[in-house]
Amino acid sequence: MTLPIAVELGKYIDERGIIPTIQGRDIPVATIAYRALSGSWCIESLAYEFTLSDAEVLAALVYYTQFRTLIDAQQTDIELEFEALD
């Protein structure tokens, strides 16, 4: 039997801005998630490249998994705003 692991995402994720970021940093959760989904970045690589702890990276991935639809929609809106500027 596998017991669920509780993660206090509020410790690692800041939801106060326009998009969720790593607490105390300007690194969007989406950036970490999309890099991980590309398949070429492991947790250790993400932690090293963004100077984060493994726990921060894992929290971002868990958060993305829980709120994927919302985060993807936010990213689409941001991309459309940038395209409109051209």
Extents of the domains making up the chain: 9-85
Q: Encoding tokens for residue 52?
A: 């984060």
Q: Tell me which CATH code domain 9-85 carries.
A: 1.10.10
How does the average pLDDT of the chain come out, rounded? 90
pLDDT more than 70, % of the chain? 92
pLDDT score of 4:
56
- Global confidence as pTM: 0.84
As a whole number, mean pLDDT of residues 56-61 equals 95
Residue 26 confidence (pLDDT) above 60? yes
What are residue 40's phi and psi, to 5 degrees? -100, 0
